[in-house]
Amino acid sequence: MTYDPAIPLASDIPSQSQHQIYDNFGQLNTQIGTEHTALNAATGNGKHKYITLIQNPVAPAPIGTDLLMKQVSAASTNDVEFLDVSGNRWYVPLRRLFITINIPVGSNTITLVNFATIALGNRISGTLHIYDDNSLSRSIFTTFVYIAPGLGVPGTIAGSWAGQLISGTKFTNFQTTGTVLQMKTTGIAVATTATLIITESRT
C-alpha cells in the first residue's frame, strides 16, 4: 500500500480506521527508512544514509540564510549545484582528501598515494599540497590531472620541476610512476610526518 494522507477522516470512529492509521505509520517508517536510518532502529534514528536528488534545472532562489542544493543537467551530465542567497553557484563534487605520510630518516623517494586505489574517480583534476608537520616551511604545491590510467603532474618529465612551488630544502619535488604519486627528498636526518592534501573535482 501507499501512505494515505486522508486517514483518519474527521468523521471516522478511531476503532474503524485503526488499521489504516497503523498502515500509515508503517509506511512512514518504511519510506523514511529508505534514505534515513529507520525510526524504529536501535540507534541513529532519522539520520541520513544518502540523499537522492530529482533532476530539477529550475528551482526557487533561496531566501534569508537558506542554501539551495539541486541536481541540474549540464553538458549531458547530471551535476549537483549549490545556490547561495547571493545567487552564487557552487558545483559539487569538490573534495579534499587529507593523507598522513610517515617520512623515515634518510628517505629520498617516498610513495605518497596510488591514484588507482583511492576511489576519487577515473577522470579528475585538482591540486596537490604536502607539508612537513614538524617544519612547516617545507612544502610543495602544484596541480595534477588524473585520467585513468595516467597521472600527470607538472615538471615530472625530463627532470624539470617547473610548475611545482617548492619551499624548504628537504622536500625537492613530486614525481610520478604510473598512477603512483611520489616525493623526492634530501637530507632527512630526523623522522617526521607530512600531510598531503588532494583537492579535486571532476574534469
Percent of the chain with pLDDT over 70: 85
Give the up-direction half-sphere exposure of residue 66: CA atoms within 13 A in the CB hemisphere. Answer: 8
The better pLDDT of the pair 64, 176 is held by 176
Q: What is the pLDDT of residue 89?
A: 67
User: Helix, strand or coil for residue 129?
Assistant: strand
Q: What is the mean pLDDT of residues 153-157?
A: 81
Measure Cα distances from 116 to 72, 98, 120, 152, 195 in Å.
29, 17, 8, 13, 20
Q: What is the pLDDT of residue 202?
A: 62
Q: What is the mean pLDDT of residues 156-182?
A: 86
Question: Quick one: which of 85, 50, 51 has its CA closest to 68?
Answer: 85
Q: What is the pLDDT of residue 51?
A: 81
Q: Answer positive or negative: Cα dihedral of 8, 9, 11, 12.
A: negative
Q: What is the mean pLDDT of the chain?
A: 84
What residues contact residue 88 under an 8 Å CB cut-off, 6+ apart?
none
Alpha helices in the chain (DSSP H): 14-35
Residue 185 pLDDT class (50, 70, 90 cuts): very high
pTM, two decimals, is: 0.59
Q: What is the pLDDT of residues 72-81, one digit of tens each?
A: 765 555 667 7
Q: What is the mean pLDDT of residues 112-128?
A: 86
Least confident of 67-76, 91-100, 156-165, 171-180: 67-76
Are the beta carbons of 52 and 31 closer than 8 angstroms? no
Q: What is the pLDDT of residue 132?
A: 96
Residue 5 pLDDT class (50, 70, 90 cuts): confident
User: Helix, strand or coil for residue 181?
Assistant: strand
Are the beta carbons of 174 and 97 closer than 8 angstroms? no
d(CA 42, CA 50): 19
Q: Residue 196 pLDDT > 70, yes or no?
A: yes
Q: Residue 136 pLDDT > 60, yes or no?
A: yes
- How many Cβ atoms sit within 10 Å of the Cβ of residue 135? 15
Least confident of 34-43, 75-84, 135-144: 75-84
Q: What is the mean pLDDT of residues 9-13?
A: 84
Residue 67 pLDDT class (50, 70, 90 cuts): confident
Give the up-direction half-sphere exposure of residue 133: CA atoms within 13 A in the CB hemisphere. Answer: 14
Q: Residue 124 pLDDT > 90, yes or no?
A: no
Q: Which residue has the cell 611520489?
A: 182
